[in-house]
Amino acid sequence: MSGAPTLPSLFQQRVVVGVGDLAVSNNANVNLSTFALGSCVGIIVYDKDAKVGGLIHIMLPDSTLSPDKAQKQPAMFADTGIPLMFRNLCGLKAERRRMKAFVAGGASVISGSDMFKIGERNIMAVKKLICTLGIQVVKADVGGVNNRTIHLNVGTGEVTLKTPLGTSKFSLA
Amino acid sequence: MTVEDLIQKTDTLPPAPEVLPKLVKIMKDPDTDSNDIVQLISTDAAIMAGVLKLSNSGAYSPPSPVTDLNDAVAMLGIKEVYRIVNLVSSGDYLDGALPSMDIGKGSLWAHSLAVALIMDQIANDVCDMDGLPYTLGLLHDIGKLGLHLGCGEQYVDIFKKVETERLSLDKAENETLGFDHALAGSKMLEEWSFPEEVYMPIRYQYNPQEAPEEHRQLAGALHLANWGAAVIGCNDGRDSWALDMIEGAFEIDQSALEIAILNAREKLEHARQALNVGEN
């Protein structure tokens, strides 16, 4: 029957990760998604053997700005959110040496002086932390002037990246 | 088409709001008391219902139910009721989708509210009238509605300019139409009898350095708050980052601005849930 949903797609669940939030899952029927990454940075991490994935939507680089807010919502900041996501992934039996990461976001204004450089500072903070953790970043789509939406299919490791310029798909498996 | 032609297209533009311009004028008067405000709001049943709904929501969590406007003023204070009326009134204009700009339903309202919440934290010190920065934030993009309704078909060319020449949206509009959405919004608000304290900073939000001195700081704050809303993801539309940032537009410490943005994001979530932004 043309156009009918396939059986596996009927069981897919979407978990939407908001600004300053994170999610990890080992449920093969789950899609992790985050929308409208602007100057924020999103990181998708996947362990293909454990079939475990995570997604975080970071808003600012450094939690020293507001330790109270970092305590309430650690994923808001790169320095508190990223270690937490990795702890949660390891809690689901993912192993660092097998993890592959995709980084997206960090946009900035089209012209003039981006004096606060939040996008750029977010990208730098994320790269530094991921490097310290020894995670392999297999793809990055950062900077520029567009919002980005990213999805991870936890069952397959397939990542979808949507921008106003188009949609691309690739695998972290 | 000139901006004046656009404003005169009364069959295209929405009708003028009744309560909000009067409310802004009342708030300018230092002798205003709560009775003046209650009396004005009572003339509009829809706004009154909206005020009561929001006053009772999780955004305010009153200790006991707010059953009438006098309760709302007593429990939340005049200034907060002023903000609620702003929010409820602007929803009629900002909640719809603007397909010509790829702005989804509820998105312009959410963006405007985010700008209002940032303005409320960074700009009250540079203005005599409490609540005015909030009003400016909510109304700063009203010109987009006017342009979508009056000449939305032109946005194919405008976005082509944005994307190929890497121009900010206001510059691409100026090159294509001869005016931008800031000027259009300012003219609409003037036509709707808002005082100049409202329409002048909105007029100069993209070039605050050219604003008359008395409006320059608020125009500069709007310039920055508009960008701040983009940082928290409230910038739906094809022009998401088609912004030009003017250095020194508004003097503020980086961490103070970032704290304002974080606080705005938190408050925005409460308000969106309470108002069902984009779901009506």
Helices and strands, number each (H, E), in chain B: 15, 1
What residues in B contact A60, CB-CB < 8 Å? 258, 262
pLDDT classification of A1: cutoffs 50, 70, 90: very low
Distance CA B116, CA B100 (A): 24
Mean pLDDT (whole number) for A37-43: 95
Strands A166-171 and A158-163: antiparallel
**Domain spanning B3-14+95-275: CATH 1.10.3210.10:** yes
Complex prediction ipTM: 0.84
Of the residues A40, A43, A129, A140, only one is catalytic, namely A40
Which residues, other chains included, contact B15 with Cβ-Cβ below 8 Å and sequence gap of 6+? none
Write the residue in A35, A40, A111 that is nearest to B166 by C-beta: A111
Distance CA A153, CA B119 (A): 39
The DSSP annotation for B204-246 comes to TTT-GGGS-HHHHHHHHHHHHHHHHHHHTT---STTTT--EEP
Burial class from Cβ neighbours inside 10 Å (0-12, 13-18, 19+) for residue B80 reads middle
Q: Where exactly are the structural domains of chain A?
A: 12-171
A40 is catalytic: yes
**Tell me, what's the pLDDT at B276?**
64
Given a cut of 90, is residue A49 above it in pLDDT? yes
Distance CA B99, CA B152 (A): 8
pTM value? Answer: 0.90
Instruction: Tell which of B231, B234, B269 to mutate to test the A interface (max A CBs under 10 Å).
Output: B231
Query: Contact B18/B162 with Cβ under 8 angstroms?
Result: no
Mean pLDDT (whole number) for A156-173: 94
Model confidence pLDDT, tens digit, residues B166-188 = 899 999 999 999 999 999 999 99
Q: Could you identify the residue written with the tokens 């903000």?
A: B83
Check A145 against B166: CB less than 8 A apart. Answer: yes
Check A109 against B254: CB less than 8 A apart. Answer: no
pLDDT classification of A164: cutoffs 50, 70, 90: confident
Q: 158-197 in B: which are within 8 Å (CB) of A?
A: 162, 166-168
- Where in chain A does DSSP place strands (E)? 13-16, 21-25, 30-37, 41-47, 52-58, 99-105, 111-112, 136-142, 148-153, 158-163, 166-171
Q: Where exactly are the structural domains of chain B?
A: 3-14+95-275
Flag residues of chain B having pLDDT under 70: 10, 275-280
Mean pLDDT (whole number) for A34-51: 96
Which of A111, A108, A112 has the alpha carbon at shortest distance from A124? A108
Pick the CATH number of A12-171 from 3.30.565.10, 3.30.1330.200, 3.40.50.20, 3.40.50.2000: 3.30.1330.200
Model confidence pLDDT, tens digit, residues B121-162 = 999 999 988 889 999 999 999 999 999 999 999 999 999 999
Distance CA B138, CA B261 (A): 16
Pairs of residues, one from chain A and one from chain B, whose beta carbons lie less than 8 Å apart: 86
Check A114 against B245: CB less than 8 A apart. Answer: yes
